[in-house]
Amino acid sequence: MRFQNHGLIFFHFSLAFVFTKQTVSNDDDKLGTIVAANVVFRHGHRTPTKCYPKDPYNNLSYWPEGWGELTNIGKMQEYELGRWLRQRFNHLLSEIYTRDEIHIVSTDVDRTLMSAEASLAGLYLPKDSQRWSSDIKWQPIPVHTVPEHLDSILAMGAPCPKYNLESKRVMELPQIVDLMASFNDLLEYLTEHTGEKVTDLVKVQNIWSTLHIETLHSYKLPEWTDTIYPNPIKTAAAHIYSLQTYSPEQKRLKSGPLLKDMLQHFKLKLGDSSYVPDNLEEAELIKKQKVWLYSGHDETLGSLLNSLNLYNLINPPFASAVLIELREKDGNNFITVTYHNSTTEPPYLLTIPGCSELCPYKTFIELTHPIIPYDWFAECHPSHRIYDLTTELPYNSLAVFVMVTSTLLVFLLLASMSIFWQKQKPTRFYRKLKPDSI
């Protein structure tokens, strides 16, 4: 079976991704001083979320943690990430945890919640009054989350019909049709050997991820994988994040809320008048804070990088992180984007198109403005204008019309019945009889 070079095909219609392999440290004079930072990181090593039907390891006896759960390797990866963050932000954060300095958010998934806790264990070793046990060198630190179906910022799971329509349009573009056609041999091959119908890159991504995890566990892969693993399935799987944020509108609706949330932190820190917060009490707390951590998934990182035109078609590995940092140099403010994909390698400094490595704050804001939604919900649901305040989900316009119309009809029916019975009501309840004569 001969498979095509998908990377070259994609190059012909993709944006120019800039990935500068330049190491960077927080004390580099050329880059100035970090004064605030947003860190988005992927969870650590996990078990497969599911195996394909013909997988020889499609049994929980091989995965005692359960499907899609963090492993001990993953816990250590996140702990080491926390230790690395401590070194990087030691000048920003005190050794004693305080909510005034840091805020942690996670998607509502076991492996990301546990990854957040493991990284915090490395970031904040309990000291002094925060030592609550002589045996346990750990302290509980709050991790904030919301249900995935309501999370438009980090899990990107909140419903967005406009995004779905735009994604469908993108998949019908000639260049995307050609790209998908180049994967036909691979899809047919996977369908033949996995026992399931493989028709899209989402399933390719799931299969590649499963094979990758099995190799990390030193499980021998079936012989049929020799011609497709690690490539071309690895390269094909990596395309999923570029396709999910291919158009400007996809970028705006998928990764825009996360980028908006991060930049609002910087705007509050700098007193930028372009952002007026709704919650003044919360805004005052954010002004004090210096680091914001987001525990997410490979989709979170891949979509964010591609939205900034920085994705290099390589799946973000376990415990990798994207750092968007506010820096100060010579009295001016700048923003840098850094990619950390291993605790053993220095991070890479990235350069977004249209700016320099040390991007002036105002320039960065201007360059990212087109993919920042003003009102994400209104853009996602342009035909809905009535909201259910208890669930923050829209009522269907037709349902509202039927409800209002039905109420009016019932009211009119009751009024008509009342008038009818009023007319039928006798004028007298009895007739007075004349007394008999004596």
Q: Write the pLDDT tens digit of every residue in 119-172.
A: 999 999 988 888 888 888 889 999 999 999 999 999 999 999 999 999 999 999
For residue 116, give the nearest of 98, 104, 108, 125 by alpha carbon. 104
* Residue 185 falls in the annotated catalytic set: no
Euclidean distance between CA atoms 117 and 217, whole angstroms: 24
Per-residue pLDDT band for 227 (boundaries 50, 70, 90) equals very high
- Which position among 45, 55, 297, 298 bears the catalytic label? 298
Query: Domain 6-371 in CATH: superfamily?
Result: Phosphoglycerate mutase-like (3.40.50.1240)
- Which position among 6, 43, 212, 297 bears the catalytic label? 43
- Global pTM? 0.83
Q: Which amino acid is at 305?
A: L
Retrieve residue 19's tokens: 């990935």
* Residue 55 falls in the annotated catalytic set: no
- Note whether 70 and 45 are within 8 A (CB): yes
Chain centre distance of CA 321? 13
- Note whether 6 and 184 are within 8 A (CB): no
What is the tens place of the pLDDT at every residue in 159-217?
Answer: 999 999 999 999 999 999 999 999 999 999 999 999 999 999 999 999 999 999 999 99
For residue 323, give the nearest of 75, 85, 153, 30 by alpha carbon. 85
Euclidean distance between CA atoms 137 and 266, whole angstroms: 33
DSSP H/E element including 36? strand 33-42
What is the tens place of the pLDDT at every residue in 46-102?
Answer: 999 999 999 999 999 999 999 999 999 999 999 999 999 999 999 999 999 999 999
Name residues whose C-beta falls within 8 Å of residue 431's C-beta, 6 or more positions apart in sequence.
none
For residue 148, give the nearest of 110, 93, 114, 182 by alpha carbon. 110
